[in-house]
């Protein structure tokens, strides 16, 4: 598969239709750049959900990134503002109050598309039955609501790539849970029981294969385009969090490596089919996606889980995207 030459997002005659669901903050923004700049991908719509930031901020951030990429024809839809059951707790302490590093970007005043993200996903799935690929970068609230509205949705989706969970059960929100799954565990439960063709790219993949050291970040920024500058500069608050909390040697990019895999599955160097279930009740392990690595439960696998990745292939895709 081509890794992109910087052509506009809708150039390819047989571009693959993607719908992206995001809680747009600093790593989501980079993932959107990768998709919007890739010549093989037709981003049919972007749905926004509350998570990293409140819904209205996430909508404005997605609109800003689309505009920066020259993709103002891609509709951005506001979705769910609260998780299904638990109250919303954002990740602004990780990404900044504006979700984009608090570096002073002009992130207000843009107008999203009319309609709700859930309705948009369902409508677009009918427009591209059996072909639409869904990529989720945030909590799964919008997807759970879509399944409640139309349980036949899994029949029309070719793939659902989820940035979430951790295959090694080492979390970034509590000791065993990844943030997206923790924010709305009840939505994760709906999704895991739905029959959707799920593929998980967890935070373990990000912290192992997608950490940008200061030298990596400098090389990326030196490409010199507005998108290259943005993709590095908006990680300011995240970089501090990674240094002090997750103990990484730079900022990591979970959503971008998930998007890279969604576009090019060869980014994954190993995968496993596993049965996954989520903890919704425990205060200690809320949001933990329990992966039955040894088959103890006897349940059939309900997800493909990426267990290792090609860092160089990911970085090549990222550099190609910001070189446009």
Instruction: With respect to residue 316, please indicate whether it lies within any of the assigned structural domains.
Output: yes
- The pLDDT tens digits of the residues spanning 193-227 come to 999 999 999 999 999 999 999 999 999 999 999 99
What radius of gyration do the chain's Cα atoms show? 18
| Predicted local confidence at residue 257, as pLDDT | 98
Q: How many domains does the chain fold into?
A: 1
Instruction: With respect to residue 7, please indicate whether it lies within any of the assigned structural domains.
Output: no
Predicted model pTM: 0.95
Instruction: With respect to residue 8, please indicate whether it lies within any of the assigned structural domains.
Output: no
| Predicted local confidence at residue 102, as pLDDT | 98
Cβ-contact 88, 81 below 8 angstroms: yes
Instruction: With respect to residue 76, please indicate whether it lies within any of the assigned structural domains.
Output: yes
For the chain, which residues score pLDDT lower than 50?
1-12
Cβ-contact 257, 248 below 8 angstroms: no
- CATH number for the domain spanning 63: value is 3.90.245.10
Instruction: With respect to residue 184, please indicate whether it lies within any of the assigned structural domains.
Output: yes
- The pLDDT tens digits of the residues spanning 176-186 come to 999 999 999 99
Instruction: With respect to residue 221, please indicate whether it lies within any of the assigned structural domains.
Output: yes
Instruction: With respect to residue 207, please indicate whether it lies within any of the assigned structural domains.
Output: yes
| Predicted local confidence at residue 13, as pLDDT | 58
Instruction: With respect to residue 9, please indicate whether it lies within any of the assigned structural domains.
Output: no
Cβ-contact 311, 210 below 8 angstroms: yes
What is the residue range of 213's domain? Answer: 16-322
Secondary structure class of 20 (helix, strand, coil): strand
| Predicted local confidence at residue 324, as pLDDT | 83
- Residue 221's contacts (CB-CB under 8 Å, 6 or more residues apart) are 228, 229, 231, 232, 233
Cβ-contact 140, 114 below 8 angstroms: no
Running DSSP on this structure, what letter comes out for residue 154?
Answer: G
């Amino acid at each position: 598969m081509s890794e992109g030459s910087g052509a506009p997002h809708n150039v390819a005659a047989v571009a693959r239709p993607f719908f992206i669901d995001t809680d747009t903050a600093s790593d989501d923004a980079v993932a959107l750049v990768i998709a919007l700049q890739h010549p093989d991908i037709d981003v049919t719509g972007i749905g926004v959900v509350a998570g990293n930031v409140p819904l209205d901020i996430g909508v404005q951030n997605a609109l800003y990134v689309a505009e920066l990429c020259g993709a103002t024809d891609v509709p951005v839809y506001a979705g769910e503002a609260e998780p299904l059951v638990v109250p919303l707790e954002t990740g602004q302490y990780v990404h900044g109050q504006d979700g984009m590093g608090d570096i002073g970007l002009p992130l207000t005043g843009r107008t999203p598309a009319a309609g709700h993200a859930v309705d948009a996903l369902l409508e677009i799935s009918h427009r591209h039955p059996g072909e639409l690929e869904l990529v989720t970068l945030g909590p799964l609230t919008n997807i759970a609501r879509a399944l409640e509205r139309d349980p036949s949705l899994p029949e029309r989706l070719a793939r659902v790539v989820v940035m979430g969970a951790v295959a090694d059960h080492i979390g970034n929100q509590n000791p065993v849970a990844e943030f997206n799954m923790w924010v709305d565990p009840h939505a994760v439960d709906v999704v895991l029981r739905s029959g959707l063709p799920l593929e998980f790219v967890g935070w373990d993949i990000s912290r192992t294969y997608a950490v940008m050291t200061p030298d990596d970040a400098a090389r990326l920024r030196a490409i010199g385009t507005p998108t290259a500058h943005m993709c590095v500069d908006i990680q300011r608050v995240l970089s501090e969090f990674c240094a002090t909390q997750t103990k990484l040697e730079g900022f990591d990019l979970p959503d971008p490596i998930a998007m890279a895999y969604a576009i090019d599955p060869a980014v994954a160097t190993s995968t496993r089919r596993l049965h996954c279930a989520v903890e919704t009740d425990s205060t200690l392990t809320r949001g933990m996606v329990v992966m039955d690595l040894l088959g103890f439960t006897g349940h059939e696998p309900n997800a493909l889980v990426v267990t290792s990745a090609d860092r160089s292939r990911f970085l090549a895709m990222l550099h190609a995207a910001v070189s446009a």
